[in-house]
Amino acid sequence: MFKCFQEAVALLALKSNGIATMCPPSCEPVSWGESMTPDVEYRRFLLRALLFGTLFSTVATAQLPPNHPSRQLAQTPPMGWNSWNKFACKVNEQLIRETADAMVSSGMKAAGYQYVNIDDCWQVSRDSQGNIVVDSRKFPSGIKALADYVHSKGLKLGVYTDAGRLTCQKRPGSYNHELQDAKTYAAWGVDYVKVDWCASKGLDPKVQYAKFRDALAKAGRPIVFSICNWGVDAPWTWGRTTGNLWRTTGDIEDKYDRMSVIGFSQNGLEKYAGPGHWNDPDMLEVGNGGMSHDEYQTHMTLWALLAAPLLAGNDLRSMTPETKEMLTNPEVIAVDQDGKGVQGHRVCDEGPLEIWVKPLGDGSQAVGLFNRGESAIKITLDFKMLGISSPIRVRDLWRHVDLGEARDSYTASVATHGVVLVKLSK
C-alpha cells in the first residue's frame, strides 16, 4: 500500500499499456512491510531488526572511543578488493601479489581502490601458544612478507577472521584469542580486518565485537574494523561505537535477484552511516559474469548512492575493458566517496521503478532512476519530489555528458534492470 495509492493505480495502468511511467511527489511506501516489491521478506527482517536495535541499544549515537586507533579510518567508504566472491577458498600468495600488481596496472589504484583483502582460508590451526598458524602451502612467505609487498605498491592489506570459534570454512576463529590475534595482525602490518560470525552459538555479537574492537585498540595499529555478522542484532545501532563498517545482510551472489534484493532493501539505514562508520551491503560482483551490463551498472550505481564500501570481487588480472570502465568510472566513484558522507535514500518506489537520492557536499544531488522491471520504461523525476526549484543543471554521470538545464522535471528512458544516474546542480 502506498500513500499515493491513486497515483500508483493510474501509473500501473499506464505501465501496462507500455506508456511512460512517472513517479509523482510523495509516493513513498508507508512501510517496508507493505511493499509491493519482491524483497518483502527481507524488508520485514530489516524492520524487525531495526525495532530490536532501537529497543535494546543505548549507544546509537556514540562514536568509537576517542583514543581508538581506527577512529580516523574510513572517513569515506573503504575501497579495495576481496578474494571471496571470485576465489572463495582458492587463495594463495601468488594471487594476492598478482592482484596488487593488477590493482596498480589496471588503474584501479588511481581510481581510489586501496585495500587488498584476503578472505577466509588463509589460516589452518593454532600453535601450542595459541598463535594463529598460516597455511604455509598457500602462503609460504607468510602474511608479513605479503603485507610488505602490498605496501611497496602503495596499497594496504586486509585479512579475515571470525568472532566465533571457527570461521565459516571451519578454520580457527578468534574467540578467546582476540588480543593475541589483533597483536599478530598489527605485527604483520595488516591494515584491515573483516570479522565474521560463524560458530558463534550462544555468543552476543555486541559483546564479542566490542572485545575485538578493544583488542585492536590495544594492539595499537590503525586497522579498519569490518563487522560481518550479516545484520544479526541490528549492528547499525551499535556498529558505530564498535567498528568502521558492518554488514547489513546475508551474502550477495552474482545474480540480479539477490543483488537487487539486498541493494534496494537498504532504505531506512541511511541515518546510521557517516564518516568512519558505514553500512555494508556486501562486496561487489561486477565482472564476475552472472549479470548483464545494465544489471552490473545498477549494482555499482546503487552501491555508490548507498555510500557503500566498494570492494571489487572479480579477478583484477583478467578484467574486460567494460568491467574496468565500470569499476573505475570517476564520476560514479565520486558519488560514493563524497566527503559529506551521507548515505542515499529512496524517494520513490512505484511498481518497477525506484528513485534514490544522495545529497553531495557541493550542494548538488546524485539521483538514480532505476528500472527493476522486465521491459524498458520512461521514468520522470519531478523536481518537487526533491524539494528543489528549477532550473536545474543535469549531468549524466555514467556517460559523462551535460544534459543542459531542466525545468520542473527530467525524463529518461531506462533499460530493463538498468539505471540512469544523474547529478542535479543549481
| Positions marked catalytic | 196, 251
**Cα distances (angstroms) measured from residue 424 to each of 374, 387, 407:** 27, 12, 12
- State in angstroms the smallest separation of the CB of 269 from ligand GAL: 17
Please choose, out of 37-45, 167-175, 238-246, 392-400, the segment that lies near ligand GAL by the rule CB under 6 A: 167-175
Q: Is 254 in the site for ligand GAL (CB under 6 A)?
A: no
Dist. CA 252–CA 280, nearest whole Å: 11
Q: Is 398 in the site for ligand GAL (CB under 6 A)?
A: no
Q: Is 370 in the site for ligand GAL (CB under 6 A)?
A: no
- State in angstroms the smallest separation of the CB of 280 from ligand GAL: 10
Dist. CA 316–CA 302, nearest whole Å: 21
Residues in contact with ligand GAL, total (CB under 6 A)? 11
Whether the Cβ atoms of residue 130 and residue 183 lie closer than 8 Å to each other? no
**Cα distances (angstroms) measured from residue 338 to each of 83, 287, 360:** 26, 24, 6
- State in angstroms the smallest separation of the CB of 160 from ligand GAL: 6
The residue from 26, 131, 169, 425 that contacts ligand GAL (CB under 6 A) is 169
Please choose, out of 48-56, 96-104, 163-171, 290-298, the segment that lies near ligand GAL by the rule CB under 6 A: 163-171
Residues 6+ apart with CB under 8 A from 268: 32, 46, 50, 345
Dist. CA 263–CA 299, nearest whole Å: 7
The residue from 4, 79, 168, 186 that contacts ligand GAL (CB under 6 A) is 168
Whether the Cβ atoms of residue 423 and residue 366 lie closer than 8 Å to each other? yes
Task: Check residue 368 and report its DSSP letter.
Answer: E
Beta bridge partners of 21: 379
For the chain, what's the residue count?
A: 426
Q: Is 251 in the site for ligand GAL (CB under 6 A)?
A: yes
* Interacting residues with ligand GAL between 55 and 84 (CB under 6 A): 84
Q: Is 228 in the site for ligand GAL (CB under 6 A)?
A: yes
Q: Is 280 in the site for ligand GAL (CB under 6 A)?
A: no
Positions touching ligand GAL (CB under 6 A) are 84, 119-120, 160, 167-169, 196, 198, 228, 251
